[in-house]
Amino acid sequence: MRTYIFLPPLKGMTGGVAVLHQVAEHLHAGGFAVSVVPREPGTPLPAGVPVCPWNELTLSQHDLWLVPEGWVNALTPGLQAGARCVVYVQNWSYLLSSLPPGVQWTQLPVFFLNVSQPVAWFTEQATGRSGPILRPGIDTRLFCPAPSGQNTEISSSHDAASAPGSTSGTTSGSTSGSTFGPITTPTIGWMPRKNKALAVRIRETFEARRALQGKPPARWLEIHGMTRQGVADSLRSAHIFLSTGFPEGCPLPPLEALASGCILAGFSGMGGWDYMRQALPPHEGGYVPWWPLREVPWQGNALVAADADVPAAVNGLETAARWLETDAPQLAALRANAARTVSHYTLESQRQAVLELWRQAAEGSLFMR
């Protein structure tokens, strides 16, 4: 069995493509025959993994053809060859929208591999087919808290107290999210590429309420257009991370924020509930979804709002800021649960999961009819 992994024609590296790279690298290092297949020249490639150009791709019924869910037409070579076609569902929202008119998944001889438990649940609800779960892993050597008591400085060209809706703010002199002790002016990291308009509404409302309470504006740190090292350094400098992404399959930025010592507040995108667990009690606005959640060995690690609920996201930010301002006892439990969460999403955990799934596939007990 040889595995071929389709790399879609995207302009730059995305979280989903990065996960495909990781899977290919794990398989290659684990002794499995694997090649990546970029749809177009110039596509970023994983290190050390053999490359098969698209126009040279020749599949057989013994091969495994792995394609992300948003690229249904890329399944064609595998379907024509009778290969073992596996759709890696990395975002539930693209599962149905990517289908050509008149085509249903039940008509296609494919298997599903899901990136998270919420995605697996949605896939089964929408297609009637279940599939195993392969979660992403993050580099915990890169995404980790700063040593307690150390400050991390990120410079910017705009002042932190700029008007709501501005796109960046200085965090010079801000303390790391891992620093203990009362924090009077929190630094809030956010990503404008994730539903920017909603993020701006949240920021405006949060700052309006702080002004009513006689509190200084928060420092807002825009995380955009950075290297991975830059993202990691920025997250380490923030006390709170505002998650505004939805829809999501298993969102990496909030997970990286947890690993970096941030308090996580905001939206889950549905897929975030694979690891997010509500730290707010119901009487303080704590929201939990109606669909089933898996049992996990950690408790509340985030202040989660329903997707697109601006007032609820503001409530989460205010709670996080208040806990920081008062050095609340809830912080210790929140940080312990965050660390426990992250320990289950390491690159090593991902590597073990990849190799176990592919061992089953090679034995014929998975992705076989």
pLDDT band at 344 (very low <50, low <70, confident <90, very high): very high
DSSP secondary structure code for residue 42 in this structure: T
Q: Residue 319: inside a domain, yes or no?
A: yes
Indicate if 326 and 213 belong to the same structural domain: yes
Q: Residue 25: inside a domain, yes or no?
A: yes
Indicate if 334 and 219 belong to the same structural domain: yes
Q: Residue 149: inside a domain, yes or no?
A: no
pTM: 0.91
Give φ, ψ of 358 to 5 degrees: -75, -30
pLDDT of residue 119: 99
Q: Distances from the Cα of 120 to the Cαs of 87, 114, 163, 291, in angstroms?
A: 12, 5, 42, 12
Cα distance between residue 117 and residue 78, in whole Å:
26
Q: Which amino acid is at 1?
A: M
- Per residue in 140-185, pLDDT (tens digit) is 999 999 886 443 444 333 333 333 344 333 333 333 444 456 898 9
Indicate if 293 and 354 belong to the same structural domain: no
Indicate if 53 and 195 belong to the same structural domain: no
pLDDT band at 12 (very low <50, low <70, confident <90, very high): confident
Indicate if 93 and 191 belong to the same structural domain: no
- Per residue in 281-312, pLDDT (tens digit) is 999 999 999 999 999 999 999 999 999 999 99
- Per residue in 187-238, pLDDT (tens digit) is 999 999 999 999 999 999 999 999 999 999 999 999 999 999 999 999 999 9
Indicate if 244 and 352 belong to the same structural domain: no
User: Could you count the other beta carbons within 10 Å of the beta carbon of residue 161?
Assistant: 15
Question: What count of residues does the chain have?
Answer: 369
Least confident piece of the model among 85-94, 162-171, 260-269: 162-171
Indicate if 199 and 331 belong to the same structural domain: yes
Q: Could you give the number of structural domains in the chain?
A: 2
Nearest to 208 by CA among 311, 128, 115: 311
Give the residue numbers spanning the domain of 354: 3-137+347-363
Indicate if 193 and 112 belong to the same structural domain: no
